[in-house]
Amino acid sequence: MPLRKFGLFSSVVLLSILFTESCVIGNSMNLFPPTAKSEFEEKLIAGKDQEKIVIIAIEGMISDEGKESFFGPASDSMVVRVKESLKRAERDPDVKGVILKINSPGGTVTASDIIYQEIKKFKERKGIPVFAGFMDIAASGAYYIAMATDSIGAHPTTVTGSVGVIMSGINVKEGLDKIGIKDQSFTSGPNKAIGSPTTEMTSEQRKILQSIIDSLYSRFFEVVKKGRPKVSEGRLKEICDGRIFTAEQAQKEGMIDFIGYFDNFVIELMKHPKYEGNPQGSPRIVTYQRGKVPVENIYQATDTKGNPISLGIADKILGTGTSAKFLYLWDI
């Protein structure tokens, strides 16, 4: 195939992938997401007492990047929304507990760590119980975040675990060589373009990247060790190898505390020693969202950003964002 036609064909295929992900999957880009200028409102879900339990949704890819909008500015990033929700809950004397409604495969290392630290600081200042409630998936960076909570509940069909670090990448040098395309990048040093898909990686470069992966994994492991003190360090080393667990398996290993549905998450939180509301009462279950979005039940307490639950095809081909990222992520 002539090079010009190949280039045109490749462009059409890539654009088709991007368009299909945007239109069919529906979470690659939102045309009109609520923006940071929308009012941050408290939404009542249930309950009638003065005391409140706040639901904070952590859904989709964990990132500090705002959701792109086809028209207008980007919406808040997950990091910003969680921080703002915690600030509002901290200011409200009626808030007696927080439940993180988690449905995420993880995300970037730094965003996961920021949210983890914000939750720990919130607990120190506010002194109220913070629980994690796992939904479909609570893996890798999402599990990292849950280590900051007082207790972890999981839906019976939850998949969790995946303690580890990944840096995705592909190498297309051999394929490009076959069609006569050569890399002509100029760099200031031999490792400036480390991980480039158009050049072969040297053994030294592999060692450099692996050392970073190992360092970030060590941090993850220490966070899990602190968050799951009842599990022996020896056992943690065996099971924190990237594997995933069902809710039942995770409970057996001590990676979560109980299995149930969202009503059970609320009941368990109200039993916690730090809960200062009426343990037999009917606290108001509330969430915070931007925009005029009705919330009539707990499953509508969602992350309005609509982050994808996994990396799309284009992300796997082109990479996440404009540069390589180290991820606490479960993705297949």
Q: Is 178 a catalytic residue?
A: no
Query: Strand, helix or coil at 191?
Result: coil
Nearest to 319 by CA among 197, 148, 143: 197
The number of beta carbons lying within 10 Å of the beta carbon of residue 203 is 7
Task: Round to whole Å and give the CA distance between 292 and 308.
Answer: 22
Question: H helices within the chain, ranges in order?
Answer: 3-20, 78-91, 109-126, 141-146, 173-178, 203-227, 233-239, 247-253, 262-271, 313-318
Q: Is 192 a catalytic residue?
A: yes
**Annotated catalytic residue, options 75, 140, 162, 196:** 140
Long-range contacts of 207-210 (CB under 8 A, 24+ apart): 209/167
Q: What angle do CA 144, 150, 155 make, to 5 degrees?
A: 70
Task: Round to whole Å and give the CA distance between 31 and 37.
Answer: 16
Contact between residue 328 and residue 108 where contact means Cβ atoms under 8 Å apart: yes
Burial class of residue 37 in the structure, from the number of CB atoms within 10 Å of its CB (0-12 exposed, 13-18 middle, 19+ buried): exposed
Residues whose CB is less than 8 angstroms from the CB of residue 6 and which lie 6 or more positions away in sequence, other chains included:
179
**Annotated catalytic residue, options 10, 11, 16, 192:** 192
Task: Round to whole Å and give the CA distance between 285 and 296.
Answer: 11
Return the percent helix, strand and coil in the chain, to nearest 5.
Answer: 40, 20, 45
Active site residues: 140, 192
